[in-house]
Amino acid sequence: MARPRTISTEAILEAGLALGLADLSVSAVAERLGVTRTAIYRHVPGRAALETLVGEHLLGLAQPPPDRQQPLDAYLQEFGRWLRELTRSTPGLADYMVHLFPRSPASGRLMEHAVAVAIGHGWSPPAALYITTTVARSTLSLVRAEVETEAYLRNLSAEAPDAVTRTEDTMRTLPLVSTAIPFFEGIDEEIRFEWYLRAIVAGTLVVAPDLEDHAP
């Protein structure tokens, strides 16, 4: 009887990186490596552990924006842009970060770095954590919404143009909304994201002092 093929955690990681977080599963890794799922489970106990193996490797390579001693709102906007670019270029990473974060010191250092920047601007640790996680989660939520909408329209395939047209036509029948539409038609998604991010940062910094009032 032939001996089962032996694999390593490193081989599982390599296969997981090749598949990507969006398509990651124990079965997919096993198929790629030509082994059984049982062979995978000898190294990672389940899907969460497999996701963590791949996700933490990716986040361990990520380099957040350095603290250039600019105003905190400017840093947070730069951080949000960086996080959006990182997660848009790595399918599945936004979901991974939203579900559980941080999962190891590799991702924990990203949180610690952002909190340290906010503390350096005079905020208490609780307020700094609130500020940075609110900006991060809001950015990740927007990325997920963008990705889900794009996937939905792809799945509609030939129906997509008609579906979009119906939505646009409906908006044009609304008396107040229709007067605003021309303003937004020439504005691309990058500019809209900047507005969204500025609003999140500004609102977060307005609310953050309330945390200081509740400090024990």
Q: What's the pLDDT score for residue 156?
A: 87
Question: Tens digit of pLDDT per residue, the chain (216 long)?
Answer: 445 567 999 999 999 999 999 999 999 999 999 999 999 999 999 999 999 999 999 999 999 999 999 999 999 999 999 999 999 999 999 999 999 999 999 999 999 999 999 999 999 999 999 999 999 999 999 999 999 999 998 898 888 889 989 999 999 999 999 999 999 888 998 999 999 999 999 999 999 999 877 766
The structural domains of the chain, ordered by start, are: 9-59 (1.10.10.60), 63-213 (1.10.357.10)
- Note whether 91 and 147 are within 8 A (CB): yes
Report the sign of the C-alpha dihedral through residues 68, 210, 95, 101, in that order.
positive
pTM of the model: 0.90
Q: What's the pLDDT score for residue 195?
A: 96
CA nearest neighbour of 124 among 214, 64, 201: 214
Q: What's the pLDDT score for residue 1?
A: 42
